[in-house]
Amino acid sequence: MVVFPSLFAFVLLASYGFYLIYNLVEDVDKMATAVDLNLGFMSERMSQVSQNLDVLTGSVRDISVNLDDLTGTVSAMNASIVDISKQVTTLPPMLVVMESVNERISSMDGSMKSLDTRIGSISVSVQSMNNQMAGIAAATQHISGNVSGLNQNIGRPMNFMNSIMPW
């Protein structure tokens, strides 16, 4: 009486244990597959990261070269500024010359004002001459009309006379 129920309980517990172990192995298999896929994906991404790091290394190298060039340029600018600071001592004599130029320009300004008034009177004279030329043009046109009329008035009789005369 004790053995058969114990044997039945053992088979029942053994079946349940087998079921648990089977499910555990199946879950571990799914986990291994997922990890394998993720590792493949990660290895692809790692190669891309490696390539990006190579590009970044090249960019940093270029920046380093540019900074070296910039350092040289700043050194050249420093030398130029030193030269300029040495040449600033020539500034006071240049200011004296500039004052002389300023006086001459002021004198030229006065001459230009005088010239402006003379040009105004010349402009008035040219306008008067323009009006006179318009009168001359009108008179010339009037003379042209008179000569045309004279040509018609004398042309016919002279044509007739030329046909009668033998020479």
Report how far residue 45's alpha carbon sits from residue 43's, in angstroms, rounded to the nearest whole number.
5
Q: Residue 9: what pLDDT?
A: 93
pTM: 0.32
| Residue indicated by tokens 């040289």 | 72
Ranges of the chain with pLDDT below 50: none
Report how far residue 150's alpha carbon sits from residue 39's, in angstroms, rounded to the nearest whole number.
119
Q: Residue 116: what pLDDT?
A: 76
Domain ranges of the chain: 7-164
Q: What is the DSSP string of 53-84?
A: HHHHHHHHHHHHHHHHHHHHHHHHHHHHHHHH
Q: How big is the chain by its Cα radius of gyration, in Å?
A: 58
Q: Residue 90: what pLDDT?
A: 66
| Residue indicated by tokens 């040449």 | 87
Q: Residue 12: what pLDDT?
A: 95
Q: How many CA atoms lie within 13 A of 89 on its CB side?
A: 3
Q: Residue 16: what pLDDT?
A: 95
